[in-house]
Amino acid sequence: MSTQLIEKLKSYKVIPVIQINNVEQAVPLAKTLVENGLPVAEVTFRTEAAAESIRLMREAYPELCIGAGTVLNAKQVDQAMAAGSEFIVSPGLNPNTVRYCQEKNIPIVPGVNNPSQVEQGLELGLTFLKFFPAEASGGVSMLKSLLAPYVDVSFMPTGGIGKANVNDYLGLDRVLCCGGTWMVSPAMIEAGEWDEIGRLVREAVELVS
């Protein structure tokens, strides 16, 4: 992964992890993120609307840093790249998907939650990994245990992170940023609650600054 992209993600500290069910929600959501000081999004491939949503967000807001999340295979990598994703995030570490991204020259941040998976990542040349599902896997104490022996690895914890614990993770050395859904819940997106999402985004930015 390029130093430039890593520095960009590190500067945001919080990466909104977004599920879009309807492509019509994509541009208003992008607008809300950009205007409230958090121009970054991980759009998850959990719905049919993901690729088209990324494309529309990229067109409307070229300055938005957009990644594709929950990417499970090469076909989804192709869809994400065609739509304009800058990086790929996966819930687990699938060596085939990692190698495919490396062949295509697109950064991937795969999910790991134990030492064997971290070493598999290192074997594939990866030093920036997602710690997922963070809270369910032992939270901050487990992450500290992983950071200790692997001094070259940095993490993006995701899963169960919210206002109450985000700074506990960000306070750890080599935790560059955290993924979170609390400011962009699927229910709020579905309901088009852009003002409330905007308020929560501003609050999140302030919380981690």
The predicted-structure confidence for 47-101, as pLDDT tens digits, reads as follows 999 999 999 999 999 999 999 999 999 999 999 999 999 999 999 999 999 999 9
Fold of 3-201: TIM Barrel (3.20.20)
Q: Which residue has the tokens 């700074």?
A: 167
pTM of the model: 0.97
Question: Which is nearest to 69 in space by CA: 4, 118, 20, 138?
Answer: 20
pLDDT of residue 176: 98
pLDDT digit of tens for each residue in the chain (209 aa)?
888 999 999 999 999 999 999 999 999 999 999 999 999 999 999 999 999 999 999 999 999 999 999 999 999 999 999 999 999 999 999 999 999 999 999 999 999 999 999 999 999 999 999 999 999 999 999 999 999 999 999 999 999 999 999 999 999 999 999 999 999 999 999 999 999 999 999 999 999 99
Q: In the chain, what are the domain boundaries?
A: 3-201
Q: Which residues are designated catalytic?
A: 42, 130
**How far apart (Å, rounded) are the C-alpha atoms in residues 55 and 7?**
24
**How far apart (Å, rounded) are the C-alpha atoms in residues 134 and 161?**
7
Contacts of 111 (CB under 8 A, 6+ apart): 89, 90, 91, 92, 93, 129, 130, 131, 132, 133, 158
> Structure tokens of 22?
């309807």
> Structure tokens of 185?
């819940």
| Ramachandran category for residue 37: left, alpha or beta (phi over 0 → left; psi -120 to 50 → alpha) | left
